[in-house]
Amino acid sequence: MEPNVLLESLIDEAGVSRAGLAGRINLAGRARGLVLRYEHTAVARWLKGQRPRGQVPDLICEVLAGRLGRPVTLDDIGMGTCGPYAQTRPAGLSGFVEHATALWRSDDQQRPRLAAAPVATGTGAVMPVWEWENPPEDTDVSRPGPRRVSAADIEMLRAARTHYEQMYRKAGGIATRSRVVKFLNAETAPLLRAGYDDAVGRRLHRAVGGLVAVAGICAYDSDAHGLAQRYFHQALRLAKASGDRGLGGYVIALLVNQSLFLADYRRAVAFAEAALRAAGPHITPALAADLYAMQAKAYARLGDPRSALERIHRAESEAGRISPGREPEETGYVQPGLVDVQVAEALLGLGDLSAAREHASAAVRSPAHARGRVHRLALLTHLELLQGEADRAAGTASEMAEHARGMESRRLRDRLRAVREHLAASGCADAEAAAGLIDGALRVPL
């Protein structure tokens, strides 16, 4: 079940407790000739995603409308007729805005059910990508309102995206997530609800889409995969409203990366293909290189070496065309050496250790931000161990641990633990010292 963040948000806004809501629903039901005996535990089940039977959803709307002084619909409380995933896929852009901002508010309030939300599968996972790729387009994204969004507001959002992305790279997603979500709830939501014409609205939705994508990255790095997926789907809807196909392709690349981590390799291939197909001429060499490289990793895992090698060739070809001054800010993560890392992992999946080691070494020699360097050194350590060079691997692991110190990241923690286990199993003389450095990096509270 999907946590019902819409209902939770309206209950908070109405200033009523769960027990209070249950009691008011019982009273409202009595006026209709119903005998209801709901308690706070029933409300807790609804917030987890359960839909009550009969007239109860209508009674919930009636009670909340009376408290809020405005009409409340079944869609508003996440109990519309389109199924549980309708909470994140409402009809109409204005409905999407209300649903999206409800998620931000619940996440800012650190609702535990939200962080534990399951990853959507089947139609729920595929439909947002299909809707981004296919008509209808948003012909007019303007919105009436007394407060008008300015160019300065949009620039503030862009600056915030850059700020939080850099924070993520330096400190990890766990430390950054609460900050970016708070900014979404306090600063970004009022702008989406403000007034703007179509031209400003498209720029606004693009800026918000980039920021929401960073929130998804931080949730992914915190192991909140269901929540991360919802943020990525939101960012994809915002990209569609902006009319920027390149931004949508970037968001799908994030979904591809998550699919690889979750070992859903066929979906990773399909999503990457959708991005490459739909973005077409709007996709940049950096993003194309990353998508092809991730496809190569997926094909390697699927046991298809021919397709993997063909995608490696395409990735390297696109990487040679990258011109940093012509890339959008979101694709800045495709730094020198990133494609080498992806290719090395694909070659490792194919069992070609020598070629993988060559690409991993090239990646380490290239400049990278601290987070990227940790991943590159971890991969090189693993390959050195596989090739029987345990002493060299211990030195590489020690360097990796120094760069990882102070970062709060589930993904990095998992990687460091794996390296430590492999080093301990090698029995080399320097393994204990390297393991000590890794332990020091792992002591950061998560």
| The pLDDT of residue 340 is above 70 | yes
Share of the chain above pLDDT 70, in %: 96
Q: How far apart are CA 247 and CA 235, in angstroms?
A: 9
pLDDT (0 to 100) of residue 119: 92
Q: How far apart are CA 385 and CA 201, in angstroms?
A: 53
Contacts of 266 (CB under 8 A, 6+ apart): 298, 302
| The pLDDT of residue 5 is above 90 | no
Q: Which domains does the chain have, with CATH numbers?
A: 1-73 (1.10.260), 86-243 (no CATH), 369-446 (no CATH)
Q: How far apart are CA 378 and CA 135, in angstroms?
A: 43
32 touches 58 (CB < 8 A): no
Q: How far apart are CA 443 and CA 446, in angstroms?
A: 9
| The pLDDT of residue 179 is above 50 | yes
Range with the largest mean pLDDT of 43-47, 258-262, 423-427: 258-262
Q: How confident is the model at residue 110 (pLDDT cuts 50, 70, 90)?
A: confident
Q: Is 92 left (phi over 0), alpha (psi -120 to 50) or beta?
A: left
pLDDT (0 to 100) of residue 99: 87
312: tokens are 């490696």
Tell me what the mean pLDDT of segment 115-122 comes to: 88
Q: How far apart are CA 226 and CA 230, in angstroms?
A: 6
| Mean pLDDT of all residues belonging to the chain | 91
Q: What is the pLDDT of residues 240-256, one digit of tens each?
A: 999 999 999 999 999 99
User: Phi and psi (nearest 5°) for 148?
Assistant: -100, 135
| The pLDDT of residue 360 is above 70 | yes
Q: How confident is the model at residue 317 (pLDDT cuts 50, 70, 90)?
A: very high
Tell me what the mean pLDDT of segment 161-168 comes to: 96
Q: How far apart are CA 58 and CA 51, in angstroms?
A: 11
pLDDT (0 to 100) of residue 87: 42
pLDDT (0 to 100) of residue 444: 52
Tell me what the mean pLDDT of segment 316-327 comes to: 91
Q: What is the pLDDT of residues 65-87, one digit of tens each?
A: 999 888 888 888 888 754 433 44
**Nearest C-alpha neighbor of 381 from the set 364, 369, 365:** 364
